Amino acid sequence: MSSRYNPYTPAGVTGWSFFESLDSNCYIKAISSDYDNGAQDRNWRVQAACITSTAGESYTSGSFVIPGVTGPTGFPNNGSWNSLNGDLNKYLSYGYMLDGLGSVFDATWKDRYYEGRGRATPAEFETGTCAWLPTANAALGPLGATCSGTFSYFAGVSSTYDNTNKDRIWKYYCCAMAPKACPAIPALTNGTWVCPYTTVGAVCNQTCSLGSRPSTSGATVTCQSNKSWTTSTATCNLGSCGSLPTVAHGSFSCSSGSLYGASCSLGCDDGYQPSAPTSISCGDTGTAFAWSTPSNGCGLVSAYCDAAFTIAPEHGSVDCGTSPQQLGTVCSYSCNAGYILATEGGTATTRTCATLNSAQGQWTGGSYPVCVLDPAYCSGVSAPTHGEVNCDNRALGGSCVYECTSGYQIRGQAAHTTFTTTCTVSDWSAAAPVCDPVECSTLSLLFGGVTCSAGMHYPSTCTAFCNEGFDLSGAVTAVTCNANAQWNATLSALCTVHYYTPPASNNARTIALTAGLAAGVVCLLLLALILIIYWDRRRRHKRRRQSVQKADSTLTRKQMVEMSPAQSPGKGPDQVESKSNTYAVAGQRKPVDGDLKQSAEHTYATSPERVYSSIVTETTSLRQGLVLGAKLGSGVSGVVFRGQLPSNLVPKDAKYLLTDERQPHLAVAVKTIPAGADPKSRREFIEEARMMARFDNPNVVRAICSLLEAEPLLCVLELMPFGDLRGVLQRSIKVQVSWTRAESAHALAQVARGLDYLEQIRFVHRDIAARNCLVGANLAVKISDFGLSRAIAEENDYYRMETKGRLPVKWMAPECLMYRKFTHQSDVWAFGVLAWEVYAYGASPYGNQKGPEILAQVEGGFRLPKPAGCDDVDFEQVFKCWNREPLSRPSFATLSAYFAQVALSAPVRDIGLLVSS
């Protein structure tokens, strides 16, 4: 903005001089002058102000008119404002401004004529207050007057003439104006009016806020001269984001619909919850409206339903999957065998986690399942013929006690005993027993016999009879077997030779004499035969007892084993060469001197040559370290002692028998023969020791080492603490321990596995029986070929044939009995008899029948009957072992697999420990 004064009229210049504002928006703002003493006149300067487009004010210079030239419009006016040397007092009407001045100098009077031009203020402005300024000058002094304040202008002047000094004293009249302003523009919803200023003429543009759009494009309002705004119907409308995003198992809830700025919170269905607090808002990208992306969704509540339902009920189980408490989870409950659901019956049910409210769910399907004993779990029972049964209940653990009526006894048990079965997970632990009539002692009558109504059993009546040619005599010739297994009287019948008395004549006497002599001879021959048989059996029995006693005296309890040079039995056909200072150790390998030899008494299936224990030296430490203890058993073939072998002397491959590395000794079984045994016995002992050293199978008794370099000959074996299988079975009866089906199958599976192993190495056992299987801890059963606990009475299991040796007739297949042909298939037959022994608790096969009777029955198709405690399906497997055709009998691999599978049906107890405690 300029602030420059320009000469208005020079001093002393005659003629009119003029000044006017440059345009209609300009007006006189300031006047200044100084006195020229020479001309005795003033030099005048003026300053103009102009209204800018921004309702501001700027200053500019005025314009000049050369004297004598016609001035601007309206000059000269219709008369001057003053007379020479007279007063001047002129101001314009209210609302007008001074925009031009004119004057002419009079040299005579040294004074000027003045006139001026006024103009109304701009329509956009309104006049405010006016006032006279203070005196602007002193005579002959400088002059300066300015209308201060924005938009102030000159509206009038006054002056008085000083005749003395020939100068005028000036005063000026100033008015103020102000631009007309419109009031505040009415508020624009969701937007604003953007104005450069708010005075008249101002144009304001519509601007919508973020999130809204104008209803009309380019809308404006203008401030009018009447200080009002032009009207406008334009609006700013909020944008909408439209439909809310979809969320699985939930929805959004909004406070203000879907318009811009709306905020929506995620709410989940019952049973679901957001993984974290989630909200969305409606936003404006500048070109479009859109919802913000949700940061989380609705997931299942991890603990929506009560955790108590995910716990297995007592006596049952539960399966709730991987997310046990979430909505929709189905928990499946099952009761253990022998239990049922208390409220629903049956053994299985389900519960489902369903909705209750947003905070928690509820299990549907019923209350928490409870498993209780099934009162009718085991099958119903009935009393056996000639017996009765009393059951406390048929629930798991319940028991039934069977008892036979007077005169009868439970099969396989002593008289007057009861039989108890227990309800187990696989039904009753044993089948209902059979009540057999009690048996009285066997009756016999020399040269005759007895005829019985029911054999030797209760309530049979037996009547004596004599063979042809003999007469019956005696006080008691008929007796009855009573309920106490006793004959009601002693049979005192006798059969005497019938003497025929012919008519009296010589011929008759000759005939009578001849008959008498014949009868006497017959009696003498029978008596001689009886005496021969008696003395022969007594001699043999004495010889066996002396042999056993000699073996017993050789090794006594807790003695160290002394070593003496091994005897050389010579080179005879029944002798075998012995190598001094050597012993066989199990697990070391050396080619076998020869295959299993076929003796004159037996025929074997051939077996290929295999490796077995090597012969090593330095046996002194082993023999000296071995300590013998109590005798475990004895027989004609040798004696077996309990022994201890220092742990450091146990061969490496037998170290696994040590249960603790720190134990000082290994308990063993030691077999020996008497020092004076005949060469054949020595040879068989050595062959047996070497043969056992070949075996390496968990179901065959382990030969730890054999000391064959010196007397006494020793074979150190794995100790099986509970003795032979038949003894364990018989003790089970005595202490009333019933075997479960799984336990019987467990024992048989091990025997079958051991025999399968022997078959693989082409070894035929030929003496498979319960007495030749030994029992260890946890019902471990292993095959032994030497009869570790064989008692003398067990020799009755063999049928002696005069030219063929002693044979286990009751266990032999028909081809063995007829042709002495022993094969793996004949071992299968013997396994079937062993299985019968297991199910019959060690009873003797075929009872008291002798070899010829058994041979005749087997040849006639008779087979052992099913024992009372044997399952029908299991006995079907056993019965297959007795097929007449050897190749039609099952293999040991098949038998092993079958019984192993049955053994898995229930837990197996340590039977040996139970019956030995």
In the block, tokens 């286990």 appear at: 808
pLDDT of residue 604: 32
512 in any annotated domain: no
Strand partners, 47: 30
75 in any annotated domain: yes
pLDDT band at 637 (very low <50, low <70, confident <90, very high): low
Tell me: the pLDDT tens digits for 782-817?
Answer: 998 643 223 223 334 443 334 445 678 899 999 888
pLDDT of residue 90: 84
Statement to judge: residues 258 and 325 lie in one domain = no
Q: Distance between CA 16 and CA 5 in Å, rounded?
A: 19
186 in any annotated domain: no
DSSP 917: -
Under 8 Å CB-to-CB from 106, ≥6 apart: which residues? 14, 84, 112, 113
Statement to judge: residues 837 and 787 lie in one domain = yes
Indicate if the alpha-carbon torsion angle 594, 598, 604, 605 is positive or negative.
Answer: positive
Furthest C-alpha separation in the chain? 243
Statement to judge: residues 649 and 675 lie in one domain = yes
Among residues 870, 867, 868, 894, which one has the least CA distance to residue 880? 894
Q: Distance between CA 153 and CA 24 in Å, rounded?
A: 13
Residue 260, domain CATH: 2.10.70
Q: Distance between CA 720 and CA 689 in Å, rounded?
A: 18
Kindly tell me the number of DSSP H helices and DSSP E strands found in the chain: 11, 57
Q: Distance between CA 380 and CA 400 in Å, rounded?
A: 10
- Is the pLDDT at 368 greater than 90? The verdict is yes
Query: What does the DSSP assignment read for 764-814?
Result: ------GGGEEE-GGG-EEE-SS-TT--GGGGGGSEEETTTEEE-GGG--H
Strand partners, 65: 18
Q: Distance between CA 743 and CA 906 in Å, rounded?
A: 8
Statement to judge: residues 290 and 316 lie in one domain = no
pLDDT band at 352 (very low <50, low <70, confident <90, very high): very high
Statement to judge: residues 878 and 732 lie in one domain = yes
Q: Which two tokens mark 758?
A: 């022997």
Residue 777 phi/psi, 5-degree rounding, is -65, 150
Among residues 697, 699, 752, 726, which one has the least CA distance to residue 899? 752
Statement to judge: residues 790 and 818 lie in one domain = yes
* Residue tagged active-site, from 99, 756, 767, 785: 767
- The answer to whether the pTM exceeds 0.85 is no
Report, as an integer, the average pLDDT of 546-575.
39
818 in any annotated domain: yes
pLDDT of residue 125: 85
pLDDT of residue 556: 36
Region of poorest pLDDT, from 299-303, 396-400, 411-415, 571-575: 571-575
Statement to judge: residues 784 and 889 lie in one domain = yes
Q: Distance between CA 3 and CA 59 in Å, rounded?
A: 6
DSSP 115: E
507 in any annotated domain: no
185 in any annotated domain: no
Statement to judge: residues 604 and 656 lie in one domain = yes
Statement to judge: residues 624 and 740 lie in one domain = no
Task: Identify the helix (H) or strand (E) that includes residue 897.
Answer: helix 892-903
Statement to judge: residues 341 and 394 lie in one domain = no
Domain range for residue 214? Answer: 191-238
End-to-end CA gap in the chain: 130
Question: Which comes out higher in pLDDT, residue 171 or 633?
Answer: 171
Statement to judge: residues 686 and 767 lie in one domain = no
Active site includes 767? yes
Tell me: the pLDDT tens digits for 585-610?
Answer: 333 333 223 232 333 233 333 333 32
Statement to judge: residues 120 and 24 lie in one domain = yes
863 in any annotated domain: yes
Domain count, the chain: 8
Report, as an integer, the average pLDDT of 250-264.
86
Report, as an integer, the average pLDDT of 481-507.
67
Give 231-296 as a 3 state SS string.
Answer: CCCCCEEECECCCCCCECCEEEEECCCCECCCEEEEEECCCEEECCCCEEEEEECCCCEEECCCCC
Residue 350, domain CATH: 2.10.70.10
Q: Distance between CA 446 and CA 496 in Å, rounded?
A: 9
Which of 166-175, 351-360, 543-552 holds the top average pLDDT?
166-175
- Is the pLDDT at 571 greater than 90? The verdict is no
Side-chain half-sphere exposure of 88, counting CA atoms within 13 A: 27
Tell me: the pLDDT tens digits for 9-45?
Answer: 566 666 666 666 556 778 888 888 899 898 888 888 8
Distances 457 to 122, 217, 846 between C-alpha atoms, Å? 155, 127, 17
770 in any annotated domain: yes
Q: Distance between CA 391 and CA 383 in Å, rounded?
A: 10
Which of 89-98, 390-399, 875-884 holds the top average pLDDT?
875-884
Give 24-56 as a 3 state SS string.
Answer: CCEEEEEEEEEEECCCCEEEEEEEEEEECCCCC
Indicate if the alpha-carbon torsion angle 298, 300, 303, 306 is positive or negative.
Answer: positive
Q: Coil, strand or helix: which one is 506?
A: helix
Residue 687, domain CATH: 3.30.200.20
